[in-house]
Amino acid sequence: MMKKISKSQFSQLFSNIDKSYQLFLPVELDGKVNFDLWQEGDKVNIEKLKTNISPKSFIFPQSETYMKFKRDGKKLKIDNVSGKKEDYVIFGVRHCDASSFKLLDNVFLEEPVDRLYEQRREKGTIVTMACFEPEENCFCTSFGIKPQTAPIEVDVTTWDLGESILWQSQTQKGEALTEKLNDILEDAANQDKAELNSLQESTKGKVKELPLAKLDPTKITGELKDLFDSEIWQELSERCLGCGSCTFVCPTCHCYDVSDFKGDAQTGERFRCWDSCMFSDFTLMAHGNIRKTQKERVRQRFMHKLVYYPNNHEGVYACVGCGRCVEKCPVHLDIVKVIKKLGGE
Amino acid sequence: MSIEDEKIEGIDKVKFEPLVVAFCCNWCSYAGADLAGTSRFSYPANVKIIRVPCSCRVSENFVLRAFQRGADAVVIAGCHPGDCHYTSGNYHTRRRFSILTNLLEYMGIEQERFKVDWISAAEGHKFASVMNDVLEKVHKLGPNGKLRDDRWIR
Amino acid sequence: MDKITQKIRETAKLALENGEVEKIIGWTKGDTFDDSHPVFITDEDKADSLIWDSFCVNNVSKYLIKELKQSNKVGVFLKGCDSLGFNQLIVDNRIDRTKVVVYGISCPGMIDPEKVKNEGLNKGLKSVKRSGDEIIFITSEVEKKLSSKDFEFDKCLKCRHPNPVVYDQLMTDALEEREVDLEARFKDVEDLEALSNDERSAYWKNQFSKCIRCNACRNICPACSCVKCIFDNTKAEVSGKAKADTEEQFYHIIRAYHVAGRCVECGECSRVCPAGIPLHKLNSKIIKDLNGLYGEHEAGLDSSVEAPIGMFKLDDCDSFSKQGGGKK
Amino acid sequence: MQRIGVFVCWCGSNIAATVGIEKVIKEAKKMPGVVYAKDYQYMCSEVGQNLIKNGIKDLLLDRIVVASCSPRMHEATFRKAAKAAGLNPYLLEVANIREHCSWIHKSKEEGTPKAIALVRAAVAKATLNKELIPGQIDVTHRALIIGGGIAGIQTAIDIAEAGYEVDIIEKTPSIGGKMSQLDKTFPTLDCSACILTPKMVDAASHPNIHLYTYSELESVTGYVGNFEAVINQKARSVDLDKCTGCGVCSEKCPSKKAKSEFNEGLRTRAAIYMPFAQAVPNVPVIDRENCIKFKTGKCGICEKVCTAGAIDYTQEDTKITKKYGAIVVSTGYDLIGLEKFGEYQYADHPDVITSLEFERLTNAAGPTGGQLLCPSDKRKPKKIVFVQCVGSRDKSVRGKTYCSKICCMYTAKHAMLIKDHYPEMEAYVFYIDVRTPGKNFEEFQRRAVEEYGVHYIKGMVGKVFPDGKKLQVHAVDSITGETIEIDADIVVLAAATKAKDDAATIKRILSISTDNDNFFTEAHPKLRPVETHSAGIFLAGACQGPKDIPETVAQASAAAAKVIGVLSKDKLVNNPCVSEVDEAICSGCLACTKICPYDAISPGTVEVNENGKKIIKIVAKVNEALCQGCGGCTVACRPGAIDLKGFSNKQILAEVDAICR
């Protein structure tokens, strides 16, 4: 049953959600929009297509303590840190980012299941916002994402009709949330649905016109080994700064490092934090580093997204075409270039 | 647990017990602190001294670490300019930490919490009074939360 | 084709042909209007991919550290600000001047793609041309002429060195020093200084909380050229990778402190920060204080001048015992 | 895991009164790595030390923490004990719970927890302590003295007497320095030459002393025990060995216009000359600027008249390279130029002279044969005015802020000598203050006033006007306030002393430091007055600051004693707490080399494998013999590639962490 709510009632909507959930939504601060815990008076911005940093940090935080230890004489006491306890809602997630959650699931929910990740996924209700006006840097369609429609796996999808938004719950979690909002959500009228249809139609057209519309990773064929030994890596990697911007803004990158915070001599805690395959100390081992130069590192990142990951996950690519790397890389070294060079256009 | 035991555990929640970490150069200020002791000039036990060969051995990393770990004030004490045992060490200290002093204040850390001073081996009294002065100010300011590492329990 | 681009290509071609250099580092064009990225050329036939436009913002001099390990002679194209960074790398003993041929380019200021997007001018934008103080935005339909001032990077609006301070060959005529309000040089800093300690603390806490520890600010910086940064050296145990306020604060204070007296004010740290943290405000503060306490010093202006940190004068004043001098 | 033993000292009641020893022991036992904790009344006593030794032997302790008095007090003691028990002494740390704790705090309430914190810090540091082995340096048993004045001569003789070789470098043709120019010496009025010349001869004839006169120091490399100096011996044009010192050459030399340096230009000398009759070595030198032979190629008279055939026009500067174990700087002083003091007419009137010129005028061997006559017309003066503090205690740019120290006394001497020889002459002394600290100094000055009736007037001379043959001296008596005019025949200016102009060069060559007035700075103003900051380089005489002869000689002997202390060792042991470079991390930016006060760090190279390609990388190299362990370099090093043994980054961070609990 499709619902609807007028934007004038947003603050009402948010405070209602806030009653029973932690609510995270796109908030504008210093000219940048990012998902943040909602507070009365926040400058909520649902027009902005992609947030500065992807919302993956809600299901896979940049750093997360999962074990604390204390030494008592010769004994060592270890407690596991329990994961996310509160139910929470992320409102206004775009479909590219929503799809990235699925990709992370493939990694963290496969055996052995990642306890902390699982808890975060269970506690979270994802409310997406469809796109009608994709940008220059968008290429989600190249990865089979339909920005204007409702991806089945997400709990609730919404559509921005200007004055109001349409609300479609699709899972039990979605229903549960919708239940709680029944008093302010009204049923969508037929002309709303008609308007939605026309908007979706026009979006299909717009999408085709996008500069990156022709990007097609499936055109990347050839033996893994040939791709691995391809000339392009040398040329592409020459200018790489070895910073982690691309990986840390990327909604699908999911590598992490494990290290300890040394408390005083008796206590400490073990945490994991995002790591980047662009860093020179990534995969650093006792004997040295298996990826000695930036060439190997750059190759690893893109081979992983375009070859290894699909090989391991029924041909699904580890990219959702959000275009953040296109915007953020200080030296314009992004996945679009790689796909093109590998013949994906 | 008796009050004293609690203190020994270092977790006296009853009242604010400031912690002052003082880096003292071996040749002047550490000796100055020794003289303060020999002449029984008292200053509170909240001051804990770390001995370094020269004030120029003190790295900005040490200072920040002390604040991270809950120091309410940090003091660097060296020979008076011109008297450095190593000729020029404290001249470098003077430049480096003039910049850091301002930078820390720029980060919002009150100047009273970070002090560099010159204390000679003969200035036991000055040592005590500098420490008392710092503590007095810190007591006014209260505990330092800035730069503090929440994972660390003091 | 624009004159400078032509000159650049000819110069590069010639230098590679007659073996004056083994490699050329410059810029080439990508697909999007704002994509002018560094390129490395060893084959003279590829010299024609070199370009010069209003988006060649990257300073290519830092690549020399890497390249000079492999090649004996490398040519680089440097803008005014780039040349300061280049000199700093020489001061820091990271590159050998004699192995580099510097092709200097006077730079009228680079265009900030963010500002273009904020004006919504990026939609269907084919290319952007500059003539004097005018920017021409060319889409398939229209050509729009607008003042460059409204689209340049903030750092470029403050630029005091449009002309290279070091070069072997010039690609352009020198531009006359653009009008910059020197009073405003440290405006950002003074505004912050005017706040209370708690306000400043809150300000930075908020800024640093955005930090994702990607190290872009460090890796782009021409003054950050250590073989192994202390923050990459786990053995040093000075800081951890955890996303914690204290770690970010530590990282950024030390990062700024480590470039004290060596920062060339190129503003790249702020530009590349994906989180939009105004990192230059830390460096500017230090520069302001160094100048105030120990006399004007402009890093990178002259590769034979040492940084003010690491030297001293007997009668230096200090900022902790206000009497200065410091003598007993 | 380490096996750390903690030893807590009561120091009788000094510590025990305000520190709960048993609590400290209890807490110490809980600290990581601590396997043993013991207390005792006096840990420094033999019994106490044995506790430590036995702990090491029987309990196999591999780290020791002693909680006691200041490490400046007994660290050495305890480290010796540890060493005796077979443990590397640098594995022992001292927690200062007396000076920094029990003596500061009134009650156990305060003292105990602090003592525990300090012990915790020491334990944390000790955990990271490494075995350190001091390096050893060979010693060249020869000393170099720079400057052959009384300071240099005295130092040389003392060292030579102790049985070590000494070389003296003297810039001028003869040793002797300023003292040889003086007539009499205060406060005894005995003749300068009579007491100096025997010493000059002793030095010259001493089997252990070698003189390099008419020579200058070119460069010095190396460090204590192992200096290598290059000496430039200027061409004398006279063979030192052949010359008999007969002096005929000087007599016969046709070019006699050159001003005699020794006589402060009050008399001329030949182009081939001996500075003064008692010069050592007693061999002339040809001053090539004024020699006709060298200027025109003609002449050559000296060669003809020299029966010994010692003249050698072809002689060239020779460079001598020699090794030394220690160096003494005794380059002496000069008087400031008086060009800027126009009001005294020094430049314009021959009868206005400096006190050093006055010495020559009254010297029997001087230009007037000891007869005090006006330089202008050789008439006998009636009134002589002495002006004190000309440029001394003068804050203006033309003068010196310091007191030249010797002027008050030598002026009293001068005035006294005049009255002694010529009772009818009038002597006036204008002064700011009369300063007479020193044995018999005050008495001496009083005699000048009381017995000899020298007129002492407190006040400065405003101006001197030439008035016919006379000099009108205008001054103000600052006590009565009335202006005074004296028609003087001679005005003697007590010009301020200053460091030698080439002190700056010596400073650079030896990389030692000077103060703002270019006097060399001692390592510590009170406790190390003859050492410089560079090990093995010492100071003697007025090059370190204004001094009179007794002080100079005293410091000279002190310096000699220090030198002997170095030379008497076969090997020097250096402090093992020195910097070390992690060459893998070093970027070769060399920021450390700019900080180091001892030039102990220099660029070196290592070959590294850069992804299969061998490349030469510049890295910092530490000379452990030069490094004094200040640690400045470790902070200058951004990536932390340089660390200081014994005070490593990790050790200090561990202390911080331990304290912050």
A122-164 tens-digit pLDDT: 999 999 999 999 998 999 999 999 999 988 789 999 999 999 9
Question: Which residue among B60, B120, B147 places its CB closest to the CB of C249?
Answer: B147
CA-wise closest residue to C76 among C106, C41, C45: C41
Cis peptide before D89 (omega within 30 of 0): no
The boundaries of the domain holding residue B33 are 16-141
Q: Would you say the C-alpha torsion B134, B136, B139, B140 has a positive or negative sign?
A: negative
Q: Which of C110, C114, C118, C212 to mutate to test the interface with A (most CBs of A within 10 A)?
A: C212
Query: Rounded to an integer, what distance in angstroms lies between the CA atom of residue D648 and that of residue D1?
Result: 19
Domain D136-234+317-332+502-572, second-level architecture: 3-Layer(bba) Sandwich (3.50)
Which ranges in chain B belong to alpha helices (H)?
Answer: 3-9, 29-38, 60-68, 89-106, 124-141
ipTM: 0.94
- Based on the number of CB atoms within 10 Å of its own CB, is A132 exposed (0-12), middle (13-18) or buried (19 or more)? middle
Query: Rounded to an integer, what distance in angstroms lies between the CA atom of residue A100 and that of residue A90?
Result: 14
How many CB atoms sit inside 10 A of residue C315's CB? 11
CB < 8 Å to B148, chain C: 246
Q: Are residues C286 and C187 in the same domain?
A: yes
Query: Rounded to an integer, what distance in angstroms lies between the CA atom of residue D621 and that of residue D623?
Result: 7
Q: Are residues C205 and C77 in the same domain?
A: no
pLDDT 10s digits, D175-192 = 999 999 999 999 999 899
Percent of chain D with pLDDT over 70: 100
Tokens at D68, concatenated: 């006691």
Contact A20, A204 (CB under 8 A): no
Closest CA–CA distance from residue A265 to any residue of chain B (Å)? 11
Closest CA–CA distance from residue A181 to any residue of chain C (Å)? 32
Whether residue C326 is predicted with pLDDT greater than 50 in this model: the reply is: no
C165 lies in some domain: yes
Query: Rounded to an integer, what distance in angstroms lies between the CA atom of residue D57 and that of residue A183?
Result: 82
Cβ contact B153–A267 (<8 Å): yes
Where are the extended beta strands (E) located within D287-441?
318-324, 326-329, 333-335, 352-354, 383-390, 426-431
pLDDT 10s digits, C25-74 = 999 999 889 999 999 999 999 999 999 999 999 999 999 999 999 999 99
- Give the number of domains in chain C: 2
Contact B92, B59 (CB under 8 A): no
Band the pLDDT of C325: cuts 50, 70, 90. Answer: very low
B4 lies in some domain: no
pLDDT in the model for residue B14: 56
Closest CA–CA distance from residue A178 to any residue of chain C (Å)? 32
Q: Which of the residue ranges B68-82, C216-230, D513-527 would you say has the lowest mean pLDDT?
A: D513-527
pLDDT 10s digits, C271-302 = 999 999 999 999 999 999 999 999 999 999 99
Please report, for residues A208, A236, D61, D243, D472, the alpha-carbon distance to residue A297 in angstroms, rounded to integers and kept in the order given. Answer: 33, 11, 48, 81, 92
Q: Are residues C235 and C163 in the same domain?
A: no
- The mean pLDDT of D347-358, rounded to a whole number, is 94
Query: Rounded to an integer, what distance in angstroms lies between the CA atom of residue D647 and that of residue D632?
Result: 12
Query: Rounded to an integer, what distance in angstroms lies between the CA atom of residue D131 and that of residue D90?
Result: 6
Tokens at C192, concatenated: 């912050």
CB < 8 Å to C31, chain A: 211, 336-337
Which ranges in C52-186 belong to alpha helices (H)?
Answer: 63-70, 80-91, 113-118, 154-157
Cβ contact D638–C236 (<8 Å): no
- The mean pLDDT of C314-318, rounded to a whole number, is 89
Query: Where a domain ends, among C121, C148, C170?
Result: C170
The CATH number of residue B84's host domain is: 3.40.50.960
Report the chain B residue with the minimal C-alpha distance to residue A270.
B151
Closest CA–CA distance from residue B152 to any residue of chain A (Å)? 6
Whether residue D47 is predicted with pLDDT greater than 70 in this model: the reply is: yes
* Partner D contacted by B41 (CB < 8 A): yes
Contact D206, D295 (CB under 8 A): no
Where are the extended beta strands (E) located within D343-454?
352-354, 383-390, 426-431
Q: Are residues C163 and C239 in the same domain?
A: no
Closest CA–CA distance from residue C87 to any residue of chain A (Å)? 20
Q: Are residues C190 and C55 in the same domain?
A: no
Report the chain C residue with the minimal C-alpha distance to residue B100.
C257
Q: Where in chain D is the domain with CATH 3.50.50.60?
A: 136-234+317-332+502-572, 337-498
Domain range D4-128, its CATH number among 3.30.310, 3.90.1200, 1.10.20, 3.40.50:
3.40.50
Domain ranges of chain A: 3-65+82-213, 218-341
Select the more confidently predicted residue: C1 or D40.
Answer: D40
Domain range D579-645, its CATH number among 3.30.70.20, 3.20.20.70, 2.60.120.260, 2.40.100.10:
3.30.70.20
Q: Which of C56, C219, C220, C268 to mutate to test the interface with A (most CBs of A within 10 A)?
A: C219
Cβ contact D611–A266 (<8 Å): no
Query: Rounded to an integer, what distance in angstroms lies between the CA atom of residue D22 and that of residue D498?
Result: 63
* Partner C contacted by A211 (CB < 8 A): yes
Whether CATH 3.50.50.60 fits D337-498: yes
Cα angle for residues B97, B101, B105 (degrees, 5° grid)? 165
Cis peptide before D187 (omega within 30 of 0): yes
Q: Are residues C162 and C46 in the same domain?
A: yes
Whether residue D15 is predicted with pLDDT greater than 70 in this model: the reply is: yes
Whether residue B11 is predicted with pLDDT greater than 50 in this model: the reply is: no
CB < 8 Å to D634, chain B: 57, 59
- The mean pLDDT of D284-290, rounded to a whole number, is 95
Question: Which residue among B45, B53, B87 places its CB closest to the CB of D113?
Answer: B45
Where are the extended beta strands (E) located within D162-224?
165-169, 184-185, 190-191, 209-212, 215-223
* Partner D contacted by B85 (CB < 8 A): yes
- The mean pLDDT of D45-69, rounded to a whole number, is 97
Lookup result for tokens 């590397």: D88
Question: Which residue among C244, C250, C286 places its CB closest to the CB of B64?
Answer: C250
3-state secondary structure of D258: strand
Q: Which helix (H) or strand (E) holds D561?
A: helix D549-567
Contacting chains of D (3 CB pairs or more, <8 Å) are A, B, C
Contact D167, D233 (CB under 8 A): no
Query: Rounded to an integer, what distance in angstroms lies between the CA atom of residue C202 and that of residue D322?
Result: 65
pLDDT in the model for residue C235: 85
Q: Are residues C163 and C244 in the same domain?
A: no
How many helices (H) and strands (E) would you count in chain D?
Answer: 18, 34
Question: Which residue among D103, D109, D597 places its CB closest to the CB of B88?
Answer: D597
CA-wise closest residue to B36 among B114, B151, B125, B149: B125
How many residues belong to chain A? 345
Tokens at D585, concatenated: 């991390």
Q: Are residues C201 and C252 in the same domain?
A: yes
pLDDT in the model for residue A108: 96
* Partner A contacted by B153 (CB < 8 A): yes
The boundaries of the domain holding residue C46 are 3-110+158-170
Please state whether beta strands A63-72 and A267-274 pair in parallel, antiparallel, or not at all (unpaired). antiparallel
Cα angle for residues A264, A267, A273 (degrees, 5° grid)? 100
Q: Which of B69, B149, B151 to mutate to test the interface with A (most CBs of A within 10 A)?
A: B151
Cβ contact B82–C192 (<8 Å): no
Please report, for residues C210, D168, D247, D282, D594, the alpha-carbon distance to residue D255 in angstroms, rounded to integers and kept in the order given. Answer: 87, 31, 15, 21, 52
Q: Are residues C162 and C192 in the same domain?
A: no
Q: What is the pTM of this model?
A: 0.82
Query: Rounded to an integer, what distance in angstroms lies between the CA atom of residue C211 and that of residue D537?
Result: 53
How many residues belong to chain B? 154
Closest CA–CA distance from residue D25 to any residue of chain A (Å)? 15
Contact B81, C327 (CB under 8 A): yes
Bridge partners for A5 per DSSP: A165
Query: Rounded to an integer, what distance in angstroms lies between the CA atom of residue A120 and that of residue A307?
Result: 28
Please give chain A's pLDDT, 345 residues, in tens. 799 999 999 999 999 999 999 999 999 998 899 999 999 889 999 999 999 999 999 999 999 998 999 887 778 899 888 888 999 999 999 999 999 999 999 999 999 999 999 999 999 999 999 999 999 899 999 999 999 998 878 999 999 999 999 999 999 999 999 999 999 999 999 999 999 999 999 999 999 989 999 999 999 988 899 999 999 999 999 999 999 999 999 999 999 999 999 887 778 999 999 999 999 999 999 888 999 999 999 999 999 999 999 999 999 999 999 999 999 999 999 999 999 999 887
Q: Are residues C14 and C90 in the same domain?
A: yes
C115 lies in some domain: no
- Give the number of domains in chain B: 1
Tokens at B133, concatenated: 């002065």
Contacting chains of B (3 CB pairs or more, <8 Å) are A, C, D
Question: Which residue among D585, D594, D615 places its CB closest to the CB of C69?
Answer: D615
